[in-house]
């Protein structure tokens, strides 16, 4: 089955800095990679996703990059704000399956 | 309606109680899921229903019993739980096919077993 590794487990940045969270996956058949943000006590919410036929996708201050050859994908947040503080989960989903495998999560702390 | 609604939001139950968690979606999604989540950990898959049939049971103890009465509703019946079962229980739904791949999670039920 798919195995997703996520790093770092904790990331502390100053407001205005950039943050990068990295994930690797094992199954070359995975073709869909969503990222979820979960604030304390709330549900995981999809913030951005990328499919295997695309190398990069941006949405305002967040972007995701995918390197299929190396089997890794990353979340980039620019100009971080305190409200970006949350746990972020990456996931990978093999083609033909509708079940994603989640990474272990990154706790992002943005200091004002 | 783009929401997955879960009730109750909070539940405290004793180890001898029987209770049920409810989940509802009206997005026409044909796959529905139950997850268990401990603090700062990723969601752990428990059950998957596809077209109202149980398709995946991730070796969950029998004290958890899922039910899918129709394509919009998903229940999780709880009986004789243990304190270690205390967690956030998340329901999710997704389209199986088509261009929309992402899950939509409900707000969850915070369960405490005493």
Nearest CA in chain A to B43: A102
Provide the chain B residues 7-26 that lie in CB contact (below 8 A) with chain A.
none
DSSP chain A: ---EEEE-SEEEEETT--EEEEEEES-TTEEEEEEEEE-TTS--EEEEEEETT-SEEEETTEEEEEETTTTEEEEEE-S--GGG-EEEEEEEEETT---PEE---EEEEEE-
Spatial contact of B42 and B31, defined as CB atoms under 8 Å apart: no
Residue of B nearest to A89 (CA): B42
Question: Does residue B106 surpass a pLDDT of 90?
Answer: yes
* Helix boundaries (H) for chain A: none
Q: Residue B30: which residues within 8 A CB-CB, separation 6 or more?
A: B50, B51, B71, B95, B96
Mean pLDDT of A82-98: 90
CB contact under 8 A, B42 and A102: yes
Task: Please give the interface size between A and B, counted as residue pairs whose CB atoms are below 8 Å apart.
Answer: 44
Q: How confident is the model at residue B40 (pLDDT cuts 50, 70, 90)?
A: confident
How high is the pLDDT of residue B98?
45
Could you give the percent of chain B with pLDDT greater than 70?
94
Residue B6's closest chain A neighbor by CA?
A: A43
Place of tokens 């979606």: B25
Q: What pLDDT, on a 0 to 100 scale, did the predictor assign at position B1?
A: 63
Q: What angle do CA A103, B37, A96 make, to 5 degrees?
A: 50
Average pLDDT of the segment spanning A82-90: 98
pLDDT above 90 covers a percentage of chain A that reads 86
* pLDDT band per the 50, 70, 90 thresholds, residue B113: very high
Q: List Cβ neighbours of A72 (8 Å cut-off, separation of 6 or more).
A: A22, A23, A24, A25, A66
List C-alpha distances in Å: A26 to A84, B12, B80: 28, 39, 38
Residues of B in contact with A51 (CB under 8 A): 101
φ and ψ of B59, to 5 deg: 55, 45
Give A79 to chain B, closest Cα distance, Å.
24
Taking 80 as the threshold, does the pLDDT of residue B32 lie above it?
yes
Confidence of residue B95 (pLDDT cuts 50, 70, 90): confident
Question: Is the Cβ of A87 closer than 8 Å to some Cβ of chain B?
Answer: yes
Residue B96 has its nearest CB partner, among A45, A51, A98, at A98
What is the predicted pLDDT for the residue at B108? 96
Greater pLDDT, B102 or A14: A14
**Average per-residue pLDDT for chain B:** 92
Chain A interface includes B98 (CB < 8 A): no
State pLDDT tens for residues B61-82. Answer: 999 999 999 999 999 999 999 9
The shortest C-alpha distance from B32 to chain A (Å) reads 10
pLDDT value of residue A72: 96
């Amino acid at each position: 089955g798919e195995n997703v590794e996520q790093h770092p487990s904790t990331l502390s940045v100053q407001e205005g800095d950039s943050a990068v969270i990295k994930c690797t996956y094992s199954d070359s058949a995975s073709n869909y990679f969503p990222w979820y943000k979960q604030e304390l006590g709330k549900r995981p919410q999809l913030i951005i996703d990328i499919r295997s036929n695309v190398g990069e996708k941006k949405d305002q201050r967040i972007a995701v990059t995918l390197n299929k050859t190396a089997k890794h994908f990353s979340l980039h947040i620019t100009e971080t704000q305190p409200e970006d503080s949350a746990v972020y989960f990456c996931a990978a989903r093999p083609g033909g399956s509708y079940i994603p495998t989640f990474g272990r999560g990154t706790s992002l702390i943005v200091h004002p | 309606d783009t929401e997955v609604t879960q009730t109750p939001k909070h539940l405290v139950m004793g180890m001898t109680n029987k209770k049920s968690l409810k989940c509802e979606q009206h997005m026409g999604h044909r796959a529905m899921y139950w997850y268990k989540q401990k603090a700062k950990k990723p969601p752990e898959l428990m059950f998957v229903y596809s077209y109202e049939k149980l398709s995946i049971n991730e070796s969950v103890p029998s004290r958890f019993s899922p039910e899918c009465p129709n394509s919009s509703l998903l229940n999780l019946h709880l009986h004789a739980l243990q304190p270690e079962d205390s967690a956030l229980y998340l329901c999710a739904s997704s389209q199986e096919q088509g261009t929309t791949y992402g899950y939509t999670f409900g707000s969850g039920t915070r369960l405490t077993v005493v």
